[in-house]
Amino acid sequence: MKLTIRRNDGDPRDVKLLHEAVPFILSRLMKPRDVKKVSLHISLTRLHGDFGDIEIETAPAFRIRLHHEMDTLLMIVTLAHELVHLSQVMRGSLKLNKINDLTVWHWDDVPYGAEPYDNPEHALPWETEADSRETELASQFCAHYITLLN
């Protein structure tokens, strides 16, 4: 895996923590051979309205942006959430497919439209999965990280 982290703002210690967290969390989500295929760039920057987001259009190259003003625990939970999305793309469950001039979101080959986040009626399965896994993954990493400090 190729991992780069850029910090526009925030605590410089976050970069070291992210370098520890990313491989740990991905090892819980993907097989080692699939992790090796990933190129990931993380930016700690100012975001408006979100804690984080991920660009998946150029998989296996991904970009994650994390809001730089989060506390450390929320940053790890948000990172875990976005890494679940990365793993969904890598296993083929979450896809963006071009249909004419539209990019349509698909989950397990079921189309969810070009703007699935604009419809509050949709329960988006990729978000449901990420929401259900983020806390468990963050908790596992924090327990692991504490043992590294001892």
62-85 confidence digits (pLDDT tens)? 999 999 989 999 999 999 999 999
**Rounded to two decimals, what is the model's pTM?**
0.95
Q: Which residue has the tokens 């190729």?
A: 2
d(CA 13, CA 118): 36
Assign 115 a pLDDT band (cuts: 50, 70, 90): very high
d(CA 53, CA 55): 7
Assign 150 a pLDDT band (cuts: 50, 70, 90): confident
Average pLDDT over residues 82-103: 95
For the beta carbon of residue 75, count every other beta carbon within 10 angstroms.
24
- Percentage of the chain beyond pLDDT 70 is 100
d(CA 99, CA 78): 31
For the record, the structure tokens of 113 come out as 């439209």
Q: Is the dihedral of CA 56, 57, 62, 64 positive or negative?
A: negative
